[in-house]
């Protein structure tokens, strides 16, 4: 975790996206609906992880979302890793 600076998770699914915290509590983002999808932003500030959910248009590409939140890919995952 010390090397993690920030991450973005995009929920284009018709199901909620859940995150379980170390404490055992959970946070859920609603599924994509009404032309909007939820993006979960994770930032490490010192020893604290901050999570923030933001709505974006459903038709935005990954690149548009990355640009909106000032991200760029530093590593490309194999295409087979994506279920799309």
- Predicted pLDDT of residue 49: 82
CB-based contacts of 64, cutoff 8 Å, min separation 6: 56
- Predicted pLDDT of residue 60: 92
Supply the pTM of this predicted model: 0.72
Contact present, 25 and 51 (Cβ < 8 Å): no
- Predicted pLDDT of residue 1: 58
- Predicted pLDDT of residue 55: 92
Mean pLDDT, each 10-residue run in order, the chain (84 residues) = 76 86 86 89 85 91 88 68 55
- Predicted pLDDT of residue 57: 94
Q: What does the alpha-carbon distance between residue 26 and residue 19 come to, in Å, rounded to a whole number?
A: 6
**Got the DSSP string for 22-51?**
TTS-EEEEPPPBTTEEEEEEEEEETTEEEE
């Amino acid at each position: 975790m010390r090397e993690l600076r920030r991450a973005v998770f995009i929920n284009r699914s018709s199901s909620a996206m859940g995150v379980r915290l170390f404490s055992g509590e959970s946070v859920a983002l609603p599924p994509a609906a009404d032309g909007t999808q939820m993006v979960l932003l994770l930032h490490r500030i010192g020893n604290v992880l901050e999570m923030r959910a933001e709505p974006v248009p459903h038709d935005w590409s990954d690149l548009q979302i990355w640009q909106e939140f000032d991200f760029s890919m530093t590593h490309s995952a194999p295409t087979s890793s994506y279920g799309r």
